[in-house]
Amino acid sequence: MALDFSLLPESIRQKAEELTKNIEFKLMNDKGANGHVLIGYNTLLKRDVVVKFYYWGNGDHAEPAVLAQLESDHILKVYHAESINKDDAFFMTQYCTSGDLDDALKSRKFGTVEAIDVLSQIAGGASFLHGNGYLHRDLKPANIFCLSKDKFVIGDFGSVVVQNDEGYAKTLTRHSLLYRPPEELEEKRSYREGDIYQLGMIFYQLLGGHLPYEERAWLSEKEAIKYDGLGGWEQQNYATSIIESKIVRDRVVNRSTLPAWVPAGLKTVVRRCCATKREDRYSSVADLVVQLNNLRSTVPEWRVGENPILHRGKRRFRIVPHKGSYVIEKCIGAQWRKDRTFLPETLFDAVKFAEQL
């Protein structure tokens, strides 16, 4: 059954219909913010593809055709991209059956070394874009796609812009509010450091930091009452103004919500990436990657499933809740046995004691 294009804006509807010559569209995905996403089977490529229509702005974003020339192991391959008119464009990429990083964060927890490895892959893609003169501007879990359980790449290029000779891009288009760097709100400019800020927020989430997506969750009780009394754009604008205020005051990333097993070194990476002043962040993605590589060989390797498990070579220790406190168990052969060296009362104590064993 043919997909109903009547919900698409008239400006892109004709192009979508033209694409049906080679693409059997199956569904329309409403997860694609700032655009319209169609998923279907490309009979020429003989594979499922994603087509995203987005606002191009006659040069406000990167030239669509250039996107198809981007080749990196850390970036989702763009099969085709072109402008439709002076405002709209589209690009076509492979369809990732494993979903995106947002899906992964909902279904599993990432350990310390796992989080470093995933962020290093994403940072590799951001570094490639920067090296070619582009800024992504919309790095977030929903735009990071899973090629396999351990392979992640940057996708969704609808917000990519060209960096000018002065080191920034000036654009009136906006992207995901929660991930918007302070300088974009204050200067209306995008910098490489803005992508670094967003990498820090992704790292924060990978490590287990709390970041609610519902706008109402960012409001105080008094603000929520006023919010509930508004409607439509007034309601959204009210919430947006409050969230923007929190962004510029460094009230979005709450490092105290990171789990007990996240070491100080990784918290420092998050803090530096997400500094409100861009000059306080890493000067380049390469510097961030170097720091991640240095930390990877030294941080305790906690893996998180039903219970956190510390891997140290062939030795394993896990923390298990027990009668209002915690016990540390050591894996001997295929059995877990209580280690009575320490009797931790809090999870933080249990982590500290386990790392001393």
Q: Kindly report which listed range (32-36, 41-45, 134-138) carries the lowest average pLDDT score.
A: 32-36
Token code pair at residue 282: 């890493």
| Average confidence score pLDDT of the chain | 92
The pLDDT of residue 93: 93
Helices (H), 155-263: 182-187, 192-206, 221-228, 232-248
Range 7-25 average pLDDT: 93
Instruction: Tell me which residue of 97, 144, 95, 157 sits closest to 118, measured CA to CA.
Output: 144
- Work out the pLDDT band at 60, boundaries 50, 70, 90: low
Q: Is it the case that residue 31 has pLDDT exceeding 80?
A: no
- Work out the pLDDT band at 263, boundaries 50, 70, 90: very high
The pLDDT of residue 176: 84
Q: CB under 8 Å to 329, separation ≥6 — which residues? A: 317, 318, 319, 320, 336, 337, 338, 339
Residues 33, 78 contacting (CB under 8 angstroms): no
Helices 112-131/192-206 angle, 10° precision: 160
Q: Is it the case that residue 26 has pLDDT exceeding 60?
A: yes
Q: What is the identity of the amino acid at 231? A: G
Domains of the chain: 10-94 (3.30.200.20), 101-211+252-300 (1.10.510.10), 306-356 (no CATH)
The pLDDT of residue 59: 58
CA 265 – CA 269 distance, rounded (Å): 7
Q: How many CB atoms lie within 10 A of CB 127?
A: 19
The pLDDT of residue 32: 54
